């Protein structure tokens, strides 16, 4: 079962959300409070949305989690849905990700937010979004001070 977690339900699964964000973004201890407070604020105010895949075994354990964010490009006049975070607590097949994506796609249609975008530095995420039909549309390049 795939469901959207409503803002008022976020505190019930906050520990799992923090774990997920920490894993996906490899957050350092000195930044943790600031980042987690921002994530919590965005989720509680529906700026970020949280979707979960619950197990079908009667225990309703969370098997995977996806965060979305609705963005509006003021220059282009386009409303988009970004997937900044997806994570599974156990191995998910591509077919399971496809089933999960259907709820994200339905939410995007409801919000009239297209295209759906996703960026990640994780190769498994690249495999998943390629399987789901995403196409590479841009590349990011980073230069850190002192790397030259």
Looking at the chain, the number of H-run helices and the number of E-run strands are: 4, 5
Residue 43 scores a pLDDT above 90? yes
pLDDT category, 142, cuts 50, 70, 90? confident
**pLDDT at position 139, please?**
82
d(C-alpha 90, C-alpha 94), whole Å? 13
Query: For the chain, how big is the Rg over CA atoms in Å?
Result: 16
- Find the largest Cα–Cα distance for the chain: 55
Looking at every residue in the chain, the average pLDDT score rounds to: 93
The arithmetic mean of pLDDT across residues 40-69, rounded, is: 95
Residue 36 scores a pLDDT above 90? yes
| pTM to 2 decimal places | 0.90
Strand, coil or helix: 8? helix
Pairing mode of beta strands 48-54, 62-73: antiparallel
Residue-wise pLDDT tens digits, 107-129: 999 999 999 999 888 899 999 99
Residue 68, number of CB atoms within 10 A of its CB: 23
Residue 91 scores a pLDDT above 90? yes
d(C-alpha 146, C-alpha 28), whole Å? 21
Provide the token pair at 25. 């973004």
Q: Which class would CATH give 2-132?
A: alpha beta
What share of the chain has pLDDT > 70, as a percent? 100
């Amino acid at each position: 079962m795939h469901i959207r977690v409503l803002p008022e339900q976020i505190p019930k699964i906050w520990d799992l959300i923090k774990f997920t964000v920490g894993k996906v973004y490899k957050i350092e201890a000195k930044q943790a409070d600031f980042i987690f407070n921002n994530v919590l604020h965005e989720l509680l105010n529906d700026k970020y949305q949280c979707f979960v895949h619950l197990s079908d075994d009667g225990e309703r354990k969370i098997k995977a989690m996806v965060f979305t964010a609705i963005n509006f490009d003021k220059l282009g006049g386009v409303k988009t849905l970004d997937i900044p975070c997806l994570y599974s607590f156990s191995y998910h097949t591509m077919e399971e990700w496809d089933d999960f994506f259907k709820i994200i796609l339905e939410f995007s249609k409801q919000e009239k937010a297209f295209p759906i975008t996703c960026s990640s530095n994780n190769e498994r995420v690249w495999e998943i979004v390629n399987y789901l039909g995403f196409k590479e549309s841009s590349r990011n390049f980073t230069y850190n001070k002192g790397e030259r």
